Structures are given as structure tokens and as C-alpha cells.
Amino acid sequence: MYPPKIIKNLQKRALTIRKHVVDSIYLAGSGHPGGSLSITDILTCLYFHEMHHDPKNPQMETRDRLVLSKGHSAPALYAALAEAGYFEVKALNKLRKINQFLQGHPSISVPGVEISTGSLGQGLSVGIGMALAGKLDKKDYHVFVILGDGEIDEGQIWEAAASASHFKLNNLIAILDRNGLQIDGPTEEIMSLEPIPLRWRAFGWHVLEIDGHDIEEILMSFDEAKKSMKPTLIIAHTIKGKGVSFMEGTLSFHGKSPTKEQWVKALSELEQEEQELYD
């Protein structure tokens, strides 16, 4: 039960980030729009509501940590960080360009990026180290890790899943971007993952399922996760390419930039949606 105003503001913010995603990937000439757009609402809720953090002091010891384990969605992370004030928004226009700091995949040298990622399957382990350090230092921060559904094919994810419950890391919250697609096709055709909730519960996790584009459900899932005595997996049902009609649910926009015409169309769709929100 969140006030409509909070929800509306987050929706507006998410649209701004979606526009940055489309712009920056178009200008870069390459990148991954599909998986960036599917986690935009989640990232927005994290950086503009949920997480305790300070863009002017990225190393603040008590900050909540976010690990973008599915590093190819960097454009959405960079847009959120820029909008939050970690660096200038105009830097987004130089994504993937030589002599610039926004690398194709997240690099720890970017203010606000907690760990370099890009090779799938490693971020949950890194989050476990952060969560263990929090317990050791008696700091009450939370560690959020965003995983792709194709990504959890990786064996290391399951090593990590086992160790998170073993070490009783209730300060660890993983969010699964359940958009149903990996590169070669739908996840259940390429390498079946279901029953995901049962698998993770069997590994000792608290599991929630939400609509990953419903701001209120996202916020409420964080509230519930923080009450858990176990590590929590939030299965966020999402749409790959969310917000741009011709990218939604399509495999081909996993990892390619829009053409000029597509870019114009994408922006006009997002602007249209924005208009409706402001009415």
C-alpha cells in the first residue's frame, strides 16, 4: 500500500531510464536493449526508493549494495546511476566509445558500480561475499543481486545458492529477471529451469513471485524480503524489451541496437506513454 504519488513518480523515472537505454544503445551502435528494459522498473525502485545510498559518497560503508550479475544490462544500470547523480547524464551518450568510462559491461571503475560483471553466473557469489562482510562487520546493509533467467543455467549460481542459505544470509536478496528468454530461444526450450520456486526453496531460500513491471508489487516484495530469516529470491515476471512494442518478447533485440527508424519509433512510443502519465 504505497501512495499513488510515489508510484507515479517511480513510473515517470522508469520511463526516463527507458529512454536513456534506447538512446545510449542507439548511439553506441551495439548493446543489449531487451534485458535492460526488462529490469528497468526493478532498478528504478531500487535506486529511487528502496536502497540506502549516497551518489555523492559512493563508498559510504553502510550503503546497500547492488550487483548486476547479468552485466549485459549495463545500459539500464548506467542510466539509473546517472539519473541518481553518480555521474553526468550526458556521459550516457558515450556508452561503449573509446577513451570513455562507460564500458559495454559494468566496470568497478564507474562510480556506483559495485563489481565488474559480464561473464554470467558470478554475481551471486560476489553478493555472498558482500553479505558475509556485512554480517562480520555488524552492518545492517542489504545486498541486492539481479540475475537473468538464462544466467541461472550456470553451475556457479547453484554453488552460490547453496552457500547463501548455509551462511544464513538473510541480508541477501536476489531478483530473478524472469523474462523467459535467453539468446538461443525461450529458456524452457533451451534449458528448462522450472520449477524455479521449488528448486530455490529446496536450496533453503525464501521465494516470492511478482509482476516485475508493477511498481507497488516490486516495493512490497522488498519489504517482505527484508523480514525474512533466509536469503530471498524474488522471481520477477517480466517482458524482455518492455516498453517498446516491437522489442517486447522478441529474441532478436536481446543484443542489437535499433536502426534509426526503430530508434525514432521507440522514443515516440515512450514519449507517448510519458504524456499519458503526466495527464
Partner 1 sequence: MTEKMRNLRDGYSSALIELGHQNEDIVVVDADLALSTKTKRFGTIFSNRFFDFGVAEANMMGAAAGFATCGKIVFASTFAVFATGRCYDQIRQSIAYPNLNVKIVATHAGISVGGDGASHQMLEDIALMRVLPNMVVVTPTDATEIEDIIPQVAKHQGPCYVRMGRADSPVLFGKHEDFTLGKAKILEDGNDVTLIGTGTMVSETLKARKLLKKDKINAQVILIHTLKPIDQDTIKKAARKTGCIVTAEEHSIIGGLGSAVSEALDMHPVPLKRIGVPDVFGESGEAKDLVKKYGLTAENIGEAARELVRLK
Ligand X SMILES: Cc1ncc(C[n+]2csc(CCOP(=O)(O)OP(=O)(O)O)c2C)c(N)n1
Cell numbers 526493478 correspond to 42
Give the H/E segment covering residue 165: helix 155-166
Three-state DSSP class for residue 121? coil
Identify the helix (H) or strand (E) that includes residue 175. strand 172-178
Which among 23-31, 34-42, 43-51, 107-115 is the span making contact with ligand X, rule CB under 6 A? 34-42
Q: Which of 64, 83, 114, 149 binds Mg ion (CB under 5 A)?
A: 149
Q: How far is the CB of 107 from partner 1 (least distance, A)?
A: 8
- Given the rule CB under 6 A, which of 51-59, 117-125, 135-143, 194-202 is the region that contacts ligand X? 117-125
Q: Which of residues 119-148 bind Mg ion (CB under 5 A)?
A: 148
Among ligand X, partner 1, Mg ion, none, residue 151 binds (CB under 5-8 Å by kind): ligand X
| Candidate list 125, 254, 262, 273; residue touching ligand X; CB under 6 A | 254
Site string for partner 1, 83-122 (x = CB under 8 A): ------------------------xx-----xxxxxx--x
Neighbours of 278 (CB within 10 A): 9
Exposure string of 67-79, with b = 16+ CB inside 10 Å and e = fewer, is: bbbbbbbbbbbbb
| Radius of gyration for the alpha carbons in the chain, expressed in angstroms and rounded | 18
Closest CA to 143 of 133, 158, 154, 153: 133
121 binds ligand X (CB under 6 A): yes
Q: At 66, which helix (H) or strand (E)? A: strand 65-68
Q: What letter would DSSP give residue 103?
A: -
Select from 6, 27, 89, 162 the one that contacts partner 1 (CB under 8 A). 162
Q: Which is nearer to partner 1, 157 or 215 (CB)?
A: 157
Taking the least distance from each CB to ligand X, the nearer of 105 and 142 is: 105
Residue 175 interacting partner from ligand X, Mg ion, partner 1, none (CB closer than 5 to 8 Å by kind): none
Asked if 239 and 248 count as a contact pair (C-beta separation under 8 A), the reply is yes
**Hunting for cell 533485440 — which residue is that?**
253
Residues that bind ligand X (CB under 6 A): 34-35, 38, 70, 72, 118-121, 148-151, 177, 179, 181-183, 240, 254
Which residues make up the interface to Mg ion (CB under 5 A)?
Answer: 148-150, 179, 181
